[in-house]
Amino acid sequence: MAEQLNASVLIVDDEEQFLDMLSKRLQTRGLRIDSTTSGADALEKISGKDFDAIVLDLSMPGMDGMEVLHRIKQDNPELQVIILTGHATLEKGVEAMKEGAVDFMEKPVDMNALLEKIGGAKNKKAVLVDERLKKRIQGIIETRGW
């Protein structure tokens, strides 16, 4: 699947060693990776670049993953966020899904499972973008009387 998966992914995790390792492992599988250790920096990167998926750590100092998720979905509802955490609880998982996360995974992450989730996120984003564009075109047609 990795050979077929042409995706741009942002990884956000405050654990630098984990972030570097995960970034390298995904890059060797052909994904385009951008990474950061802070939620604020992640929001800046999102405003300037188009990502197919975002892999977001839940527990970070400063702006935690739930706040970053909330802000991402508020400004970019099509972006697909996969929550990745070493401190999973059922309550946090439910809260993240209600906030708009596409999935919730525990560390250490199974690479094949993560690749499948990234592929699914990319496909879901494409469908949402397509639906938004169709609605926009339909609105233009209706207002112009074509």
Query: Model confidence at 5, in pLDDT bands (50, 70, 90)?
Result: confident
Query: Model confidence at 145, in pLDDT bands (50, 70, 90)?
Result: low
Q: What is the pLDDT of residue 142?
A: 84
Q: What is the pLDDT of residue 2?
A: 39
54 has a pLDDT exceeding 60? yes
Give the tens place of pLDDT for each residue, 87-130.
767 788 888 989 999 999 988 899 999 999 999 999 999 999 89
Percent of the chain residues past pLDDT 90, beyond the cut: 66
Percent of the chain residues past pLDDT 70, beyond the cut: 95
Task: State the Cα–Cα distance between residues 122 and 132, nearest whole angstrom.
Answer: 15
Alpha-carbon separation of residue 54 from 98, 103, 141, 143, 144 (angstroms): 17, 11, 34, 36, 37
Are the C-beta atoms of residues 25 and 111 closer than 8 Å to each other?
A: yes
Q: Where are the domains of the chain?
A: 8-144
Comparing CA positions, the residue from 124, 15, 22 lying closest to residue 65 is 15
Judge: domain 8-144, CATH 3.30.9.10. Answer: no
Cis-peptide into 108, omega within 30 deg: yes
Count CB neighbours of 60 within 10 A.
Answer: 21
Q: What is the pLDDT of residue 146?
A: 61
